[in-house]
């Protein structure tokens, strides 16, 4: 690990070497380790150490960007000079105003020493627990267990100086029991939060219940979506239209809808990079502190997130949601939360006359971004519900539906939530979910 002092010193050097009207340097460095298992056996351990230093040079309204993963002084000087050369030979961007200016950055706890130093032997012991729990339930285990740390630093010529070290661990488990499948996923800044046995029980139990799946006709059904599926809905909303660039280009579902109802009044979604219940990060890749942004409140479209480029276009301030690089993709929320309700999955099932329980989605793609229509398939646990009880497992179904339409027809929301990669979400029960096809498995 470089540490704060060394990381910032390298970044200051890069900014000075650029010699531009304005310059920004970022560093993303860290170690990542992963243990992969299949057929209830560990078959791969991998370890990676990498560091990427990026320089953005600005000459008037011309911008250049270059990266390197060599960090000796000559390499830092070369990448800074390359960014400047690219800027001088680029076309002007008439909408560019400035790099961001410094603001106070709050402190968050996102680093855990045990997670950073979690060894291959410790990962093997945790995976062994998953495998043993699966075998005890006649299920075969596959998946990955990863851990690592990252250092993020940003310096610019206007005075921004930011640094944060963070850790992350993730356990993904897929269990197979004959022709039944189950899934569980855990992610946290602390490896102690993964609870391998609980994860194994969840996946193995679902796989056993999923044996001998039956076909069902495509059509519209009431659907109970577990948090894995709900998280995918939110991730697509983040990608499709919760960023200001998508609104400015007229391709967001939020365009022209601010102040209007776009979901049911029981749906509230926000983004908060400082909330410890998620995966907190205090600043974005431009060194701007993250703000809590209310995206949808009681069904009403309230706001989107900004980086410095999109904020200056509207005479606003960045909300700390830049995505790094040259900014091509625009800002995006990556610490989303959906407000929980007062129900439980068991209560949702008990209150369903006829419907389907969906564990998660797979191979999901966009059909129409403004209408938020996506298509994909169910996976790893799909069940028919009749008269308040799960009566049989189902073969996977293809769906083609609008996310906002389904969120406009939310009947109930669970009180419990689950942390996923960029969101913390409950389970939800929706009406009229559109299944358009069936599979053979």
Structure confidence at residue 262 (pLDDT): 98
CA 397-176-435 angle, 5° bins: 5
Contact (CB, 8 A) for 51 and 23? no
Structure confidence at residue 111 (pLDDT): 98
Give tens-digit pLDDT for 379-394. 999 999 999 999 999 9
Percent of the chain scoring above 70 in pLDDT? 100
Please report, to the nearest 10 degrees, the dihedral formed by the alpha carbons of residues 178, 400, 238, 269 taken in order. Answer: -90
- CATH fourth-level superfamily of 4-199: PmbA/TldD superfamily (3.30.2290.10)
Between CA 145 and CA 127 the distance in angstroms is 7
Contact (CB, 8 A) for 399 and 364? no
Greatest alpha-carbon span in the chain: 71
* pLDDT band of 27, cuts 50, 70, 90: very high
Between CA 430 and CA 410 the distance in angstroms is 4
- CB neighbourhood size of 113 (10 A): 10
* pLDDT band of 327, cuts 50, 70, 90: confident
Percent of the chain scoring above 90 in pLDDT? 99
Between CA 31 and CA 210 the distance in angstroms is 38
C-alpha count within 13 angstroms, C-beta hemisphere, residue 378: 34
Between CA 286 and CA 160 the distance in angstroms is 8
- CB neighbourhood size of 440 (10 A): 7
HEC-encoded secondary structure of the chain: CCCHHHHHHHHHHHHHHHCCCEEEEEEEEEEEEEEEEECCEEEEEEEEEEEEEEEEEEECCEEEEEEECCCCHHHHHHHHHHHHHHHHCCCCCCCCCCCCCCCCCCCCCCCCHHHHHCCHHHHHHHHHHHHHHHHHCCCEEEEEEEEEEEEEEEEECCCCEEEEEEEEEEEEEEEEECCEEEEEEEEECCHHHCCHHHHHHHHHHHHHHCCCCECCCCEEEEEEECHHHHHHHHHHHHHHHCEHHHHHCCCCCCCCCCCCECCCCCCCEEECCCCCCCCCCCECCCCCECCCEEEEECCEECCCECCHHHHHHCCCCCCCCCCCCCCCCCCCCCCEEECCCCECHHHHHHCCCEEEEEEEEEEEEEEECCCCEEEEEEEEEEEEEECCEEEEEECCEEEEEEHHHHHCCEEEEEEEEEECCCEEEEEEEEEEEEEEEECCC
Give tens-digit pLDDT for 206-265. 999 999 999 999 999 999 999 999 999 999 999 999 999 999 999 999 999 999 999 999
Give tens-digit pLDDT for 396-425. 999 999 999 999 999 999 999 999 999 999
- So where are the chain's domains? 4-199, 213-441
Average pLDDT over residues 38-61: 98
Contact (CB, 8 A) for 50 and 69? yes
Give tens-digit pLDDT for 167-220. 999 999 999 999 999 999 999 999 999 999 999 999 999 999 999 999 999 999
pLDDT reading at 328 higher than 90: no
């Amino acid at each position: 690990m470089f540490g704060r002092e060394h990381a910032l010193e390298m970044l200051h050097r890069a900014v000075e070497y650029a010699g531009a009207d304005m310059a920004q340097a970022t560093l993303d460095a860290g170690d990542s380790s992963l243990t992969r298992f299949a057929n209830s056996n560990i078959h791969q351990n991998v370890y990676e150490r990498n560091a990427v230093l990026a320089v953005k040079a600005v000459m008037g309204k011309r911008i250049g960007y270059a990266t390197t993963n060599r960090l000796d002084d000559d390499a830092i000087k070369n990448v800074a000079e390359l960014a400047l050369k690219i800027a001088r030979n680029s076309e002007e961007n008439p909408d560019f105003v400035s790099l961001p200016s410094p603001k106070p950055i709050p402190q968050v706890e996102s680093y855990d020493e045990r997670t950073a130093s979690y060894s291959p032997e410790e990962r093997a012991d945790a995976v062994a627990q998953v495998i043993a729990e699966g075998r005890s339930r006649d299920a075969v285990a596959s998946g990955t267990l990863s851990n690592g740390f990252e250092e993020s630093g940003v310096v610019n010529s206007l005075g921004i100086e930011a640094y944060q070290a963070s850790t992350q661990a993730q356990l993904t488990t897929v269990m197979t029991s004959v022709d039944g499948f189950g899934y569980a996923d855990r992610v946290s800044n602390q490896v102690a939060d993964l609870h391998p046995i609980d994860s194994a029980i969840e996946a193995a139990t679902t796989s056993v219940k999923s044996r001998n799946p039956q076909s069902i006709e495509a059509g519209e059904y009431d659907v109970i979506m577990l948090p894995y599926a709900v998280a995918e809905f939110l991730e697509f909303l983040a990608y499709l239209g919760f960023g200001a660039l998508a609104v400015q280009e007229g391709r967001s579902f939020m365009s022209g809808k601010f102040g209007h109802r776009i979901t049911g009044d029981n749906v509230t979604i926000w983004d908060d990079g400082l909330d410890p219940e998620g995966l907190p990060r205090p600043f974005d890749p431009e060194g701007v502190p993250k703000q809590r942004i209310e995206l949808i409140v009681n069904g009403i479209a309230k706001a989107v997130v900004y980086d410095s480029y999109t904020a200056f276009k509207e005479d606003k301030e960045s909300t700390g949601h830049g995505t790094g690089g040259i900014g091509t993709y625009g800002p995006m929320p990556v610490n989303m939360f959906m407000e929980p309700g007062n129900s439980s999955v068991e209560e949702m099932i008990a209150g369903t006359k006829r419907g389907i329980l969906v564990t998660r989605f797979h191979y999901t793609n966009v059909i129409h971004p403004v209408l938020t229509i996506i298509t994909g398939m169910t996976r790893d646990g799909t069940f028919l519900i009749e008269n308040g009880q799960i009566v049989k497992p189902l073969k996977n179904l293809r769906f083609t539906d609008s996310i906002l339409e389904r969120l406009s027809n939310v009947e109930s929301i669970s009180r419990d939530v689950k942390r996923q990669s960029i969101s913390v979400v409950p389970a939800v029960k929706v009406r009229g979910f559109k299944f358009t096809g069936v599979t053979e498995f």
